[in-house]
């Protein structure tokens, strides 16, 4: 088995030594035992078994059924584990030991990699917010007065965050047809996607102890793609005067793989120029807190958009600072997402609402949406983010 393992990956492999994202998997032979895995090319390393075979001090953390214990251990441990993994997979003297714990991707089933504590979603793209504002408020200002002063967000539902590949059942709820005097109940007719990038919190914080923007890397374990499925007709009827509720809470899909924040060091970039000076706790002047992540959205196998994450107005570090500035604490497993990623071009829009100027068509039963992405890595390499796929299943009501 060892000889068949491609330890020397081609330079263009998106999941090489500079990446090594974490996930959780089961096998057909042992379907009830969840194991921490590390993606390496077209294989998954059983991280706990490999750590035990190598006599690693981190074996216990890596033998857990979810990533949360590793995430809670903090940045020095994250860095030490990552260094061990890179050594085990690159040093020829370890190949015989480690090779026996590499499993083909085709032989595993990926699970939700961490227990989600809380879920927060932001609205951080100026292009997206402007486009949506023009659709919803054609005679008014596209951006609300507060938009350039703070990262706007809402609290979602952690219990309906699902792993990539999970079917998305068309939600039911109240919607009010344009010319109808009263709302009706039934399946959503305007089901949409939102292509997003999400951040997974590892190290917790204390209540009333806010997290400074500069401490982002001490608390955030990693990054993954996210699709915030949205029922636009349910949302339009319910969200005034509060915020998203049933139009969002039925399902949020995340990648099975969490890319370590450290793997994206070469992708750091300055955010777009801002025309409003942020308050001091959000001020990131001169900092490279943005990330150059290139997303591709496909619908039934056809590319429909390529949203650039580097165009986001508010960075994840600012979002984290704002999320905790009132004293709200972080918990291991907190998930916060960027909001729809959109760029200035028609081929860079991250949702069907924008792509069709609100007119549709929206998602039909049987449609399958996939998000993929990559970011610049060291020495001209590319770092892949695990894909997010969801297929629309019909509502039980129709």
Q: Which of 58, 101, 128, 322 is catalytic?
A: 128
Residue 128 annotated among the catalytic residues of the structure? yes
Q: Which residues pair with 110 in a beta bridge?
A: 25
Distance in angstroms (rounded) separating the CA atoms of residues 122 and 352: 18
202: closest CA among 82, 339, 35?
82
User: Hey, what are 137's tokens?
Assistant: 């408020």
Q: Is 68 left (phi over 0), alpha (psi -120 to 50) or beta?
A: alpha
Distances (CA, A) of 376 to 31, 220, 256, 265, 381: 36, 20, 21, 9, 6
Burial of 28 (0-12, 13-18, 19+ CB in 10 A): exposed
User: Hey, what are 164's tokens?
Assistant: 């990539």
Strand order in the sheet with 35-40: 102-104, 43-46, 35-40, 22-27, 108-111
Active site residues: 128
């Amino acid at each position: 088995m060892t000889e068949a393992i491609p330890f020397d990956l081609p330079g263009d492999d998106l999941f090489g030594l500079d990446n090594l994202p974490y996930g959780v998997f089961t096998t057909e032979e042992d379907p009830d035992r969840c194991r921490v895995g590390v993606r390496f090319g077209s294989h998954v390393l059983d991280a706990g078994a490999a750590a035990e075979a190598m006599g690693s001090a981190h074996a216990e953390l890596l033998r857990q059924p979810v990533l949360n214990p590793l995430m809670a251990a903090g940045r020095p441990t994250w860095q030490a584990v990552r260094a061990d993994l890179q050594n085990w997979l690159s040093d020829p003297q370890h190949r015989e030991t480690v090779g026996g714990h590499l499993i083909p991707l085709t032989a595993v089933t990926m699970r939700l990699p961490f227990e989600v504590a809380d879920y927060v979603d932001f609205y951080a793209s100026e292009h997206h917010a402007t486009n949506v504002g023009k659709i919803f408020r054609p005679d008014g200002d596209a951006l609300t007065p507060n938009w350039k002063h703070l990262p706007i967000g809402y609290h979602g539902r952690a219990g309906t965050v699902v792993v990539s590949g999970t079917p998305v059942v068309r939600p039911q709820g109240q919607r009010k047809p344009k010319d109808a005097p009263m709302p009706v109940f039934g399946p959503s007719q305007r089901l949409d996607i939102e292509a997003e990038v999400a951040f997974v919190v590892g190290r917790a914080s204390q209540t009333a102890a806010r997290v400074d923007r500069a401490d982002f890397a001490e608390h955030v374990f990693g990054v993954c793609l996210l699709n915030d499925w949205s029922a636009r007709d349910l949302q339009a009827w319910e969200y005034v005067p509060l915020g998203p509720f049933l139009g969002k809470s039925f399902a949020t899909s995340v990648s099975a793989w969490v890319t370590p924040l450290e793997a994206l060091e070469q992708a750091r970039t300055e955010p777009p120029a801002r025309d409003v000076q942020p308050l001091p706790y959000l001020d990131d002047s001169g900092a490279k807190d943005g990330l150059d992540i290139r997303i591709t959205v496909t619908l039934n196998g056809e590319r429909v958009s390529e949203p650039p994450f580097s165009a986001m107005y508010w960075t994840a570090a600012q979002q984290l600072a704002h999320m905790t500035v009132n004293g709200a604490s972080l918990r291991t497993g907190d998930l916060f997402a960027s909001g729809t990623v959109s760029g200035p071009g028609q081929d860079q829009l991250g949702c069907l609402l924008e792509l069709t100027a609100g007119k549709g068509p929206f998602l039909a039963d049987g449609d399958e949406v996939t998000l993929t992405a990559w970011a610049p890595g060291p020495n001209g390499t590319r770092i892949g983010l695990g894909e997010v796929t969801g297929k629309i299943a019909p509502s039980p009501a129709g």
